[in-house]
Amino acid sequence: MFATIPGQIISIRRPKRLELHLLLGLLLCLLALGSRPVRGEEVDRLLAAVNGKVITEGDLVLVRSLNAVISGAAVGAGYDDSQAIERLIDLELMRQQLKDFNLGRQDDARVQARIQALRNAYAQKGGIGEVLRRFGLQESELISYLELESAIEAFIDFRFRPFASVSQEEISSYYQGRFAEQLRASGLSLPPFEQVASQIEEIVREEKINAMLDQWIREMRRNSRIEYFGQAPKPE
C-alpha cells in the first residue's frame, strides 16, 4: 500500500494474509477439480493424511504450479517441501471446517478482472495460454482457483473481521512506533497522522485477523489426526 504526500511516496507494509488465501484457494481448486490422471508408470506418492484425507505429491505439484502462475514467482519459491506440506495440512484442516459454509458463486466481475490482469501481465511472455501450457495447467483450473479465492476471502472476512476492532490508541501507537521507524529507516519524513490513519487502521485490523486465523488453525491441529508418510515434519 502506498500513501502519497507532496514530494514523496510512502510504502506502508501490509500483513500478507493473501498468501494463506492463495494456498487455500489452490488447495480447494485441486480438490474441487479432482485428482489428475497419472501415467501407468507413475505413482502419486502419499505425503500426509488429515483426519483420513490424504495429501499427495501430485497435490503439491499442482498447488506449486498454480501458485507460480498467479504470483509470477518460480515454482516452489520461498518454501521447501516440508514447509509446503505443513501449509497444505493447515489448509486441508480449514477445508474440512469450511464444508458447512456456503462458498457460493462469487462476483464474476471480480474474477474476470483478475483473469484480465493475468492476461495483461503475460502478454509479453507468449500469453496466459502459453504460460499455462508450460506448467501443464488448464485455464479451467485457473478460473476455478480465482472463483474459490474470492469465496475464501469472503469466508475469512465473515468469520473473523467482525471481531477485529481497532481503537484510536492502537492506530496512534502503530503510527508513532512501527510506521515512524519504517520511514526513518527509509530516510523519509513522517506525514501527518490524519493522512495515513485510515490505512494504518486497516493494517492493524489485518494483523488481528491474521492472529485469530493462526490461533484457529492451531486449535484445529490439536483436535485433529495428522499422519505423515515418509519424511517426518521439521520441528517448528
3-state SS, the chain, equals CEEEECCEEEECCCCCHHHHHHHHHHHHHHHHHCCCCCCCCCCCCEEEEECCEEEEHHHHHHHHHHHHHHHCCCCCCCCCHHHHHHHHHHHHHHHHHHCCCCCCCCCHHHHHHHHHHHHHHCHHHCCHHHHHHHCCCCHHHHHHHHHHHHHHHHHHHHHHHHHCCCCHHHHHHHHHHHHHHHHHHCCCCCCCHHHHHHHHHHHHHHHHHHHHHHHHHHHHHHCCCEEECCCCCCCC
pLDDT digits (tens, 9 = 90+) for 93-146: 877 877 767 655 556 788 888 889 999 999 988 999 999 999 899 888 888 878
pLDDT digits (tens, 9 = 90+) for 188-232: 999 999 999 999 999 999 999 999 999 999 999 999 999 999 765
Q: Where are the domains of the chain?
A: 14-34+43-163+217-228
pLDDT digits (tens, 9 = 90+) for 36-59: 444 444 457 899 999 999 999 888
CATH topology for 14-34+43-163+217-228?
Triger factor/SurA peptide-binding fold (1.10.4030)
Could you tell me the pLDDT band of residue 236, with boundaries at 50, 70 and 90? low
